[in-house]
Amino acid sequence: MTETTSAPTAAPEATGPKPAHPALEFLRAFARNQSAIIGLILLALVLGTTFLGPVFYDVDPYSMVDMPFVAPGGEYAPLGTDYLGRDMLAGIIEGGRATLAVGAAAAVISVVIGILIGSLAGYFGGWIDAALMKVTEFFQILPTLLLAMVLVTIFGATLVTITLAIGAVSWPQVARLARAEFMKIRKLDYVQAARTAGARDAYLIFRVILPAALPPLVVAAGLAVGAAILFEAGMSFLGLGDPNTMSWGLIIGQNRNYLLDAWWTVTLPGVAIFITVLAISLVGDGINDALNPKLRRR
Amino acid sequence: MPPLVKRLASAIGLLVAVLVLNFLLIQMAPGDPVEVIVGEMGGASEELIARLRAEYGLDKPVIVQLGLYLSKVVTGDFGYSYYFNQPVLGLILQRLPATILLVVSSLMIAVVVGTLMGIYSARKPKGLLSHFVTIFSLVGYAAPVFWTGLMLLILFASVFPIFPVSGMQNVRGSETWIGAVLDVLHHLVLPSVTLASIYIATYSRLSRASMLDVLGSDYIRTARAKGLNERRVIFGHALRNGLIPVVTMVGLQFGQLFAGAVLVETVFNWPGLGRLAYESILRRDYPTILAILFFSAILVMVANILTDLAYGKIDPRIGGSRRKAPKPKGAAQ
Amino acid sequence: MDPVLEITDLKVGVDTGRQVHSVLDGVSLKLTPGKTLGVVGESGCGKSMTALSTMGLLPDRFAVSGGSIKLMGEDLLAAKPARMRELRGNAISMIFQEPMTALNPVLTVERQIAEVVELHQGKTGAEAREIALEMLRAVQIPSPEDRLAAYPHELSGGMRQRVMIAIALACRPKVIIADEPTTALDVTVQAQIFRLLRELQDQTETAIMLITHDLGAVAEMADEVAVLYAGKCVESGPVREILSNPSHPYTRGLMACTPRLRLGAAAASAAEEGLGEIPGMVPPLGRFPKACRFAPRCALADARCHAEAPPVVPTGPDHSALCWHTNKMEQVA
């Protein structure tokens, strides 16, 4: 983009009330953001249902409770039953745990790999940067879903391999972001000062630059959770998830052939995925906006 | 080195890397490839096993095996699919056109619709449609693409049966050439709209941000000072600048688009590479899966080179090689 | 001679959402054919807002709340948007401050000039190209044939500003508003651009409104001067009158800041004090003092200045100032 240079304004230094503590300022900005609050409420709802759900709704998600394909509102199953006559509500509560756990763990893996590669590339520059960016480009070019599918097929479909596979292919975006932040921050005066004072590379990377680069990376990490949930759902839908663990994608995949007779079996777990990812992205956007007051005013 | 040659060299390097990765994946797979193949065939004679082992050069050192693998690929030999019972290359070339058709049409829908939505909401951020655009882009991002497909499938299979929900052609086929084309396009509607839905969200957000940026720039004020009307300001002056980040994103996301195609093709039974990938993974048909990985990487490379060219066309500051710029003469200053 | 552009008692406000702040408060200016009016003041005084009001290009949330702007008798404030578009770039055109960003980076020089004549004069193709070429010659760009196909990034800053001038002049406008046209350029280039503008003005009888913070530029270019401070016109008159006999303390202050222009008493006292400067800054919008707006920064200010708005005091032929102390000027640095 072209840089728009505005005429220097002669407004005096802000003489208004002293700016509050940054954290407080951030919370205030976040709380003013309606959609971020909605996201937070939805997220609480999802987490509450998945982790506290079994306490209030004690039905075995793996056993038959009624005839197959009973519509929602039935006598035994409030959200209906699936093709094996299992309770949909219990299945969604149970499936959320695996989906959320895989999503969060895979996101952590991808963020750690991404920050490691991005920070080294951005900090050192030169041939290290060029080489690491080639690797990143390589992973961006491959259709990640396909690669993860191959990995899972080779190593067997368990929650652990799925998590590792998703984490191992999803880091390039975080790496690019971390690299950009590091390149920007390493040029700042205080980093140069620390370097001149004789700080070692590892200290500069992890103790000086990383903390400053963290806010946008936190947002990216949040969004990575959403992306990993979608990723896991896609794999489970294709039948590449752990066949022994209920997850939202798996429920959709298993009931897919009957969707014209029992729409709720594929619709409801999808709604759960949708609400979860939506909540995460609303909260993520809210944090992002609160961190960038300039964008907020637009 | 001209940029295009440099780009091609780097692309070839990356493709070799994909092949090496493929090879390593075969090595990592439990059992050697012959055992897997034999397992999938449901057993084979000792004689066949011995022949296959020799064919794969499994008695030789790993590095020689790699060389062998690469030289085979160069001659177009991607192995034999025992599940589909034909050479992998032929299998892939059969399925490739359907995937290209799906991916390219989805991309076009996503770019055109997404950009128009982005322009609109940048122009009228408070308008009713802008709120709709915001909501739509959130939905497009958060809904799993296979689920969107299933929902459309339910809707158009039972409620409004106006679009076919499975396959690429009518079973009966069509008499005329034009009829066949229309038939394919008719089948294409739901899969391409589904696949586009994710990217419409991305592009509308992106083009909204970039158009807001561009519309605030000095040269747009200049355009208005010339007396141009809004339509010419937007489409004549702002759009090309606003499109630059969108083009970048198209190149970056092409691999993900292909990943989406795997899911969408599976939902709508679209006979492309994506569904082939799904089928061959279920059957553990490794030669086919790995060849698909390789060919999808080629697709992404080609798409990247094309976006680079488009980029140079849109932004003269990048192209560079188009024409030697006359150096401004110092005396004239 | 009759004025070609007459701004009378112009009032502009900005709506901050909570309240409306005054940006311009009763500014009156006159432009005569073939003459240049210098509009002077520090940043934030309302110079650019005066220009943008005249062009009908005020940014969002800014609005004219009173007064009139007449171009050859036609009230621009009452003109419909379509009529304004006919006039912009045609009868009245503008040169912007930043040649680096005011030209569209993705369009050729030819396109950006030809566009105006296509729009306003109905010229097309070869004819428009011929006019674009003619304009490049008129602004003395060397080897103009080659520059037609150039993009802005291939030109130097001075060259780009010449292209801006070519665009502004393409339709032979009655009035050109030049908003700090040379601020972003080297001093030597500045002089060339001013010489060019004067030459072109001699040929075309165009009236120029030169907006600048630099009294040196005014001395070089202008016939008449209007000094703006905090949204008010504090002094106006012929350039020689004002430079030799400034009647407002703010004008005095500005002159003291311009080394080449220290005359008479100002020069003597500036020499004693070293570099001249006006204490404090232009008050931000919404914090303009109620009485004399310059009083807080004025060495002559007394109780009356802080209590009562000063009147317009004639201080010579066609020369007036908005001050209680026009007779005490010698006491100001």
The per-residue pLDDT for range C158-213, each reduced to its tens digit, is 888 889 888 888 888 889 998 888 877 777 878 888 888 888 888 888 999 999 88
Contact B226 C103 (CB under 8 A): no
Q: Is the pLDDT of residue A18 over 60?
A: no
> Are residues C176 and C237 both part of a single domain?
yes
- Tell which A residues from 132 to 151 touch B, by Cβ distance under 8 Å: 134, 137-138, 140-147, 149-151
Percent of chain A predicted with pLDDT > 70: 91
Q: pLDDT at position C329, please?
A: 60
> Are residues C11 and C143 both part of a single domain?
no
> Are residues C243 and C327 both part of a single domain?
yes
**Could you tell me the CA-to-CA distances from C94 to C181, C191, C197 in Å, in that order?**
10, 19, 13
CATH number for C79: 3.40.50.300
Closest alpha carbon within chain C to A1: C105
- Residues in chain B where the model's pLDDT stays below 70: 1-3, 30-33, 36-37, 40-43, 56-59, 171-174, 319-333
Cα–Cα distance for residue pair B275/B261, rounded to 1 Å? 8
For residue B333, tell me if it sits in a domain: no
Better-scored residue on pLDDT, B197 or C271:
B197
Better-scored residue on pLDDT, C6 or C139:
C6
> Are residues B95 and B60 both part of a single domain?
no
Contact between B112 and B199 (Cβ < 8 Å): no
Q: pLDDT at position A12, please?
A: 41
Contact between A297 and A40 (Cβ < 8 Å): no
Structure confidence by residue, pLDDT tens digits, C30-70: 888 988 998 988 877 888 888 899 988 888 888 888 888 98
- Tell which B residues from 287 to 316 touch A, by Cβ distance under 8 Å: 289-290, 292-293, 296-297, 300-301, 304
> Are residues C237 and C297 both part of a single domain?
yes
> Are residues B192 and B280 both part of a single domain?
yes
**Shortest CA gap A230–chain B (Å):** 6
Percent of chain A predicted with pLDDT > 90: 13
Establish whether this prediction's ipTM goes over 0.95.
Answer: no
CATH number for B134: 1.10.3720.10
End of a domain among B15, B47, B74? B74
For residue C266, tell me if it sits in a domain: no
Q: pLDDT at position A277, please?
A: 92
Confidence of residue A2 (pLDDT cuts 50, 70, 90): very low
**Could you tell me the CA-to-CA distances from C254 to A87, B166, C260, C331 in Å, in that order?**
83, 78, 12, 15
End of a domain among C125, C149, C170? C170
Average pLDDT of the residues in A280-286: 86
For residue B331, tell me if it sits in a domain: no
- Sheet containing strand C312-316, edge to edge, reads C92-95, C175-179, C207-212, C36-40, C224-229, C232-238, C319-322, C312-316
Q: pLDDT at position A210, please?
A: 84
Structure confidence by residue, pLDDT tens digits, A219-255: 888 888 988 999 999 988 888 888 888 888 888 888 8
Contact B314 C147 (CB under 8 A): no
Query: Containing domain of residue B45, as a range?
Result: 3-74
> Are residues B143 and B242 both part of a single domain?
yes
Q: pLDDT at position A191, please?
A: 84
| 3-class state of residue C30 by DSSP | strand
- Tell which B residues from 138 to 157 touch A, by Cβ distance under 8 Å: 138-139, 141-147, 150-151, 153-154, 157
> Are residues B245 and B297 both part of a single domain?
yes
Contact A141 B262 (CB under 8 A): no
Q: pLDDT at position C136, please?
A: 87
> Are residues C189 and C289 both part of a single domain?
yes
Touching subunits of A (3+ CB pairs, under 8 Å) are: B, C
Cα–Cα distance for residue pair A249/A277, rounded to 1 Å? 13
> Are residues C79 and C112 both part of a single domain?
no
**Bridging pattern class, strands C74-75 and C62-71:** antiparallel
> Are residues C232 and C150 both part of a single domain?
no
Q: Is B86 on the interface with A (CB under 8 A)?
A: no
Structure confidence by residue, pLDDT tens digits, B192-219: 999 998 888 888 888 888 888 888 888 9
Tokens 């997850």, residue located = A247
pTM for the full predicted model? 0.80
Q: Whole-number mean pLDDT of chain A?
A: 81
Q: pLDDT at position C261, please?
A: 58
Q: Is A75 on the interface with C (CB under 8 A)?
A: no
Count of domains forming chain C: 2
> Are residues C207 and C254 both part of a single domain?
yes
Average pLDDT of the residues in A258-276: 86
> Are residues B168 and B237 both part of a single domain?
yes
> Are residues C307 and C203 both part of a single domain?
yes
> Are residues C314 and C189 both part of a single domain?
yes
Contact B14 A141 (CB under 8 A): yes
Q: pLDDT at position A48, please?
A: 86
> Are residues B20 and B104 both part of a single domain?
no
End of a domain among C124, C142, C170? C170
Per-residue three-class SS string for C48-63: HHHHHHHHCCCCCCEE
Average pLDDT of the residues in A144-160: 86
Q: What H or E segment, with its residue span, contains residue C93?
A: strand C92-95
The residue among B35, B40, B146 with the most chain A CBs within 10 A of its CB, best to mutate, is B146
Confidence of residue A293 (pLDDT cuts 50, 70, 90): low
The residue among C54, C90, C96, C104 with the most chain B CBs within 10 A of its CB, best to mutate, is C104
Query: Containing domain of residue C231, as a range?
Result: 5-91+171-259+274-331
Q: pLDDT at position B30, please?
A: 67
**Shortest CA gap B319–chain C (Å):** 11
Q: pLDDT at position C330, please?
A: 56
For residue B157, tell me if it sits in a domain: yes
Better-scored residue on pLDDT, A184 or C280:
A184
Q: What H or E segment, with its residue span, contains residue B192?
A: helix B177-215
Q: Is the pLDDT of residue A3 over 90?
A: no
Q: pLDDT at position B65, please?
A: 79
Count of domains forming chain B: 2
Identify the structural domains of chain A with CATH numbers, from first to last: 34-53+82-292 (1.10.3720.10)
Contact between A82 and A91 (Cβ < 8 Å): yes
Find, among C206, A187, A266, C139, the residue nearest to B153 by Cα.
A266
> Are residues B272 and B239 both part of a single domain?
yes
Structure confidence by residue, pLDDT tens digits, A64-116: 777 777 777 777 777 777 777 788 788 888 888 888 999 999 999 999 999 99
> Are residues C117 and C26 both part of a single domain?
no
- Tell which A residues from 8 to 47 touch C, by Cβ distance under 8 Å: 8-12
Q: Is the pLDDT of residue C259 over 70?
A: no
> Are residues C177 and C157 both part of a single domain?
no
